[in-house]
Amino acid sequence: MTSFINTARSHFPSLESGYIFADNAGGSQCARDVVDKLSDYLLRTNVQLGADYSVSVTSTRRVAEGVQAAATLFNAGSPDEVAFASSSTMNMENLARALEGDVLSDEEIIVTGEHEANVGPWKKLAHRKSIQLKYWRPRISSPNNPYSIVLDVEDLLPLITSKTRLVAFTACSNILGSIVPVKDVIKATRAKATKEGVRKIEFSVDCVAYAPHRRIDVQDWDVDYAVFSFYKVYGPHISALYARAASLHSSLSPLTHHFLRVVDVSYKLNPGGPGYETVYAVTGVLDYLRALAPTGTDDLDAAFAAIAAHEQALLDPLLAYLRQREPRGVRIVGSEEGGLARAPTLSFVVVGERPIKSKDVVKAFDDKGGVGIRYGHFYAHTLVDELEPKLDIDDAVVRISLVHYNTVEEVTRIIEILDEVLA
């Protein structure tokens, strides 16, 4: 494990300062490989694509390599199934606009209350089409903690009717940290939808908080649409959207200029071209992740297995500490269980006889210096707003979000500060 963490940290110059970056769900550090490629593109091949002159040929090839890298990270069947936008919010808004013409006036959309990126566009689409919007709401998993909420497919299935058109949910919550079994959810829901006689059902999965911790596999999941943000996966500020080839052909209308022939390719989801330098730079993310695979195998599955193993070592002591402080009024927001069904993203509140505002917990860290954590609703506004007992939505929760380049020693330091705050 020492070799793994040394390899990982060597790719991030920002870590040399000793600062503890523990707000990674808001945005990870950027790998040197990525910055080098972004810089090289801008300095050497910053021209328009598609021309016959040599620099444009090189530039076109480089951007195509970026699209292929994103397709590899999705395990998409083709790079033609991958579109880009400045953020996952923008990608999902583009998707909702493109899907609008294939949603009938009596159909229904089901969403969760997670990050608004994969909720808001569907809310707006439902409003524009005057169709019903349903919520797949979480359930409480621990009788002693009303904030220990998790998504359970058994609460989704009763919502499925013959009118269900789309189900939009998260693969991993950026608040709760729990990993949803996407493949199982989709399989069970498709089976129920078939029994109900749906015209067409599709699934949109938010992988933003999942992609840094586990490998996405859209083909194995049998998902129609998926999205993640590279700036939360050690890359530039750009987002990739997967759209299944069948959906591109039969469900989505083009957002592009009317004279472009883009019937069956993902470019129909790009109103304009993405930032070329950032698309090329994502090849550095793939290079970095492959470098984490043991014994130089370049195996992405092995790399993510190593990531998960190290992150488990980060998660276990912090989760155990927060559980131990329950008598003090600490309540974990999300599942209190550890294991591989959880990412090292932990949210909590301090309630009871001696409550502490979330912003005051974070201020104590800021006053100490050297550690970055954050408080708030983190754009999962609906989820936080519906917690009972009610929380101040502006204060919301404390979130500590770790990734594989964090160290066990850094977790120890975080616990030491928490111990002072919660004394």
Specify the pLDDT at position 101.
Answer: 97
The model's confidence at residue 289, banded by pLDDT at 50, 70 and 90, is very high
Structure tokens at 170: 């998260």
The model's confidence at residue 273, banded by pLDDT at 50, 70 and 90, is confident
Strand partners, 202: 166
**Span(s) in the chain for CATH 3.40.640.10:** 41-287
Question: How does strand 145-150 pair with strand 164-170?
Answer: unpaired
**Residue whose C-alpha is closest to residue 345's, from 246, 211, 205:** 211
Element (H, E) at 228: strand 225-229
Specify the pLDDT at position 326.
Answer: 97
**Span(s) in the chain for CATH 3.90.1150.10:** 2-30+299-421
What letter does residue 387 receive in the DSSP assignment? -
Lowest-confidence pick of 146-160, 290-304, 311-325: 290-304
pLDDT(17) > 70: yes
Polymer length of the chain: 423
Residues in contact with 423: Cβ distance below 8 Å, sequence separation at least 6, in sequence order: none
Calpha distance 31→41 (Å, rounded) = 16
pLDDT(120) > 70: yes
pTM above 0.75, yes or no: yes
Residues in contact with 282: Cβ distance below 8 Å, sequence separation at least 6, in sequence order: 34, 66, 69, 70, 230, 235, 236, 238, 240
DSSP per residue over 134-199, as a string? EE---EEEETTEEEEEE--HHHHGGG--TTEEEEEEESB-TTT-BBP-HHHHHHHHHHHHHHHT-S
Topology (CATH level 3) of domain 2-30+299-421: Aspartate Aminotransferase, domain 1 (3.90.1150)
Calpha distance 231→295 (Å, rounded) = 27
Structure tokens at 389: 């007992």
| Range 90-103 average pLDDT | 98
CA dihedral 258, 261, 266, 272 (to 10 degrees): -40
Domain 41-287 listed as CATH 3.40.640.10: yes
pLDDT(191) > 80: yes
| Range 79-105 average pLDDT | 97
Chain segment 352-368, per-residue pLDDT in tens: 999 999 999 999 999 99
The model's confidence at residue 1, banded by pLDDT at 50, 70 and 90, is low
